[in-house]
Every structure is written in C-alpha cells, then in structure tokens.
C-alpha cells in the first residue's frame, strides 16, 4: 500500500470510546475530529497579511473527551505511553507538561474552560511532516470542549475556535505561526481548497472548488523533521517585519515589488520578494482553478517552489529531490509545502500516474541516500466536526 491511509473515522471513534471508558472508568461525552492540512500555494504569507490556499486532509486527529465536576485535567494519547495529569491552573503559558500536551492544554486555556476534563487523542496526521498535526490536535480538542458543553458548532463558533487554537500555538506552545493551519482545520469544506485572506484582523475565508476527478494531490513526507519552534521560522518572520518597516507599510501585503527590489539589504530583499510574488501567485492560482487551467496552476506551484528555495531559503535537499522527481515523472506542478526546513512536498499529478510518481520519488530518495519518504493522497476534506 503506497499511500498512508487516513483511517476510518467512524470506526476509530467507536474504538476510542471503548479505550476511553477502559482508561478513565466512565463513558466519554463526545468525540470530535479535526483534520491536518496541505497548503497548495501561499507559503509564509499568512503572517504578512497575505493569501493562502490550503485544503483539509482526510487524515485527522480524534479527541474523545468528558467534562469533570472538579478542576482535574487528564490527557492521554494512543501515541504516548505516559498520560499527563494536572489542574486547570496548570494549563496557562509557562506550565510544566510534555510537549504534545501544550497544544491540548493551550486551547482549553484559551477557551477559558471552567471545568476539568479527561481526554484521549488519536491521530492519523503524521507529526513533524509540515501537515499541521498540531493544529489538528488543537482544533479537535477545542471542538470536543465546545461540543461537551452542548454549544452548536456554527460558523461563529468555528471562527472563535480557530482563534483559540492560534492563541494556544503562539502563546502557550510558543510557536510564532500565522494562523493558516487552524483556520483551514476549522473552516474547510469537502471538495474545496480554502482561500484565506489575512489582511484584516479577522481573516476572511472562501471555498475554492477543486477538480473532482482525474487528478491527485500527491503529498510526500520527506521524513526530515521540522520544528516551528526552531529558529528558522522566527528568523524569516523577523526579516519580513524588517522589510515592512523599511518600506513603511503595515505588512508586506501592501508592498510594491519595485519598492521591494530597491531594498538595500540583500537578504531582506529576497525574503520580501518571495512574499510579494507568492501572494500574487495565490491570486493567479485561484484564477487558474476558476478557468480550469491546471497547467497554469502547476506552473505557479513550480515558481512557488523556486522562490522558496532561492529567495526564502526554506527548502532542503530532500524536498528539492521530491519536487524534482515528481516533475520529471508526470506531475504538472510540485512544490514544498508548510513551514519548510523539511516536512512535505505536494505535487499535482494525473490520477493514473500517481503511483508511478510516488515510486519515482522513492527511487530518487534511495539513489540519493535519503531515508524512504511516505506518501499520501490529499483528498480535500471537511473541517472539524463532532462524530
């Protein structure tokens, strides 16, 4: 089986309810699901007031939860042997807990959850792969906490859960990310990518239908782990802020390319050039989809990859190899996706060639002496839901 399975959510939910009852001795109140994501184009644009075009994966995190009468919080994961337990007071920024618990604790803290809870999570989103396993966890837990109180998961609730998940990531975990991942995990619709515009304080999101048949979004996890709390992401963000300050604009969304090209600092100039051209590529990519011109979309993916490799300098040998092998064997466009420095690539491939392209990437990795990558099919799925 060459592609990583997303699993069967309904079946997993029922198995997890049983596991929850065995572990905690009581039935769960609720099971919620939130997806990982792959960004098709628009990288490092969200924190620059720009545009992104991700889709929600069928691979998702499930959160099984029961509210308690006291202030105790117990968190367990099917991936981790040791559960964590603490109290509501321990959820705030700076608390002592294992890394993964920070995402769950953080969203509960951001929501101001008044009661303790027991939580069991399980995920088919590979972690460290640039596919937003952290946002999937935050949004699954947030959705479960909301649903356990009986509140409806309507559009305003989805938007406020996305905001709480962003605060969990930036204020509790301390990863200075931009909001794309949590927004798509909450607001995506099946069959569509989500165009998100981050210029205003409240991002605006529009579904963009994707071609239904005949094409595969092939995602390749290079298995080179990336961590957003490492310095590279924050350094790129700082360069973008320096560029916006030098250009005297509120964000690079408002920067003109001619002004960018005149920036005196060579590195800052290249970083800003990536962002400004990438925002334009997202606009062009949405127009290409509307016109049914997938060749044009593919060419924009290629240009996006070159910009990230050369100007933004966030690619790596494995990502370049995956993109190059995909392009050489039938993909009509390919690029790295996510924060960079490892993680995954995404290629647009005619369906009948998907397995061949995946095999060609495997062969290239073996020839280059890299560890085997892992592939998955990114079928555009719905945002968070209660199961």
Residues labelled as active-site residues: 181
Nearest to 105 by CA among 141, 153, 80: 141
HSE, side-chain direction, 13 A CA sphere, residue 365? 23
CB of 129 to ligand GLA, least distance (A): 11
Instruction: Give the residue, chosen from 43, 118, 138, 239, that forms a contact with ligand GLA under the rule CB under 6 A.
Output: 43
Please tell me whether residue 177 binds ligand GLA under the rule CB under 6 A.
Answer: yes
> Mask of contacts with ligand GLA, 198-237, x by CB under 6 A?
------------------------------x---------
Q: Kindly state the DSSP code that residue 371 receives in the 8-state scheme.
A: P
Q: Whose Cβ is closer to ligand GLA: residue 50's or residue 86's?
A: 50
Token pair in block for residue 326 = 């995909």
Please tell me whether residue 50 binds ligand GLA under the rule CB under 6 A.
Answer: no
Q: Say if residues 147 and 153 touch (Cβ distance below 8 Å).
A: yes
Q: Whose Cβ is closer to ligand GLA: residue 117's or residue 233's?
A: 233
Count of Cβ atoms closer than 10 Å to residue 266 Cβ? 8
Instruction: Go through 14-41 and write b for each residue having 16 or more CB atoms within 10 A of its CB, e for each that does not.
Output: eebbebbeeebeeebbbbbbbbbbbbbb
Q: Whose Cβ is closer to ligand GLA: residue 29's or residue 138's?
A: 138
Count of Cβ atoms closer than 10 Å to residue 265 Cβ? 13
| Residue range at the interface with ligand GLA (CB under 6 A); choices 8-16, 141-149, 177-185, 191-199 | 177-185
| Residue range at the interface with ligand GLA (CB under 6 A); choices 40-48, 91-99, 269-277, 317-325 | 40-48
Please tell me whether residue 138 binds ligand GLA under the rule CB under 6 A.
Answer: no
Please tell me whether residue 44 binds ligand GLA under the rule CB under 6 A.
Answer: yes
CB of 341 to ligand GLA, least distance (A): 10
Q: Whose Cβ is closer to ligand GLA: residue 177's or residue 329's?
A: 177
Instruction: Give the residue, chosen from 181, 221, 239, 318, that forms a contact with ligand GLA under the rule CB under 6 A.
Output: 181
Q: Between the CA of residue 210 and those of 55, 191, 256, 285, 294, what are the distances in Å? A: 10, 6, 30, 11, 10
Q: Kindly state the DSSP code that residue 3 receives in the 8-state scheme.
A: B
Instruction: Give the residue, chosen from 6, 106, 142, 339, that forms a contact with ligand GLA under the rule CB under 6 A.
Output: 339
| Dihedral over Cα of 274, 276, 279, 281: its sign | negative
Number of residues located near ligand GLA, criterion CB under 6 A: 13
Q: Whose Cβ is closer to ligand GLA: residue 341's or residue 370's?
A: 341
Q: Whose Cβ is closer to ligand GLA: residue 39's or residue 192's?
A: 39
Interatomic CA distance for residues 119 and 75, integer angstroms? 5
CB of 45 to ligand GLA, least distance (A): 6
DSSP secondary structure string for all residues of 252-319: GGG--HHHHHT-SSHHHHHHHHHHHHHHHHHHHHHHHHHTT-HHHHHHHHHHHHHHHHHTS----HHH
Footprint on residues 341-360 left by ligand GLA (CB under 6 A): none
HSE, side-chain direction, 13 A CA sphere, residue 34? 32
Q: Whose Cβ is closer to ligand GLA: residue 41's or residue 120's?
A: 41
- SS3 of residue 350 by DSSP: strand
Instruction: Give the residue, chosen from 29, 46, 239, 318, that forms a contact with ligand GLA under the rule CB under 6 A.
Output: 46
CB of 132 to ligand GLA, least distance (A): 6
Site residues, ligand GLA (CB under 6 A): 39, 43-44, 46-47, 177-181, 228, 338-339
């Amino acid at each position: 089986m060459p592609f990583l399975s997303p699993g069967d959510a309904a079946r997993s939910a029922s198995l997890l309810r049983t596991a929850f009852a065995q572990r905690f001795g009581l039935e769960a109140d609720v099971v919620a699901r939130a997806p990982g994501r792959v960004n098709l184009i628009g990288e490092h644009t969200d924190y620059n007031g720009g545009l992104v075009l991700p889709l929600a994966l069928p691979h998702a995190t499930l959160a099984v939860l029961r509210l308690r009468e006291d202030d105790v919080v117990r968190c367990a994961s099917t991936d981790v042997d040791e559960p964590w337990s603490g109290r509501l007071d321990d959820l705030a920024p700076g608390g002592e807990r294992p890394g993964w618990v920070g995402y769950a604790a953080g969203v509960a803290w951001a929501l101001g959850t008044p009661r303790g809870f027991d939580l069991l999570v399980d995920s088919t989103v590979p972690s460290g792969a640039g596919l937003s396993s952290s946002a999937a966890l935050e949004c699954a837990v947030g959705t479960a906490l909301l649903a356990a109180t009986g509140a409806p998961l309507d559009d305003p609730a989805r938007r406020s859960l996305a905001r709480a998940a962003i605060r969990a990531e930036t204020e509790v975990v301390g990863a200075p990310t931009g909001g794309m991942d949590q927004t798509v995990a909450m607001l995506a619709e099946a069959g569509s990518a989500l165009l998100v515009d981050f210029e205003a304080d409240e991002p605006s999101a529009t579904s963009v239908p994707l071609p239904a048949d005949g094409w595969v979004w092939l995602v390749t996890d290079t298995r080179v782990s990336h961590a957003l709390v490492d310095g590279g992401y924050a350094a790129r963000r700082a360069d973008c802020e320096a560029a916006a300050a030098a250009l005297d604009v509120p964000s690079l969304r408002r920067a003109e390319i001619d002004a960018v090209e005149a920036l005196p600092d060579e590195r800052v100039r290249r970083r800003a050039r990536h962002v400004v051209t990438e925002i334009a590529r997202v606009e062009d990519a949405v127009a290409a989809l509307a016109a049914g011109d997938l060749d044009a979309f593919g060419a924009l993916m290629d240009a996006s990859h070159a910009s990230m490799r050369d100007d933004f300098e966030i690619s790596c040998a494995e990502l370049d190899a995956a993109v190059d092998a995909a392009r050489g064997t039938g993909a009509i466009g390919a690029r790295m996706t996510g924060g960079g420095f490892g993680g995954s690539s995404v290629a647009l491939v005619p369906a009948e060639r998907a397995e061949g392209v995946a095999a060609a990437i495997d062969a290239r990795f073996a020839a280059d002496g890299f560890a085997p990558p892992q592939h998955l099919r990114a079928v555009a799925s719905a945002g968070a839901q209660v199961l």
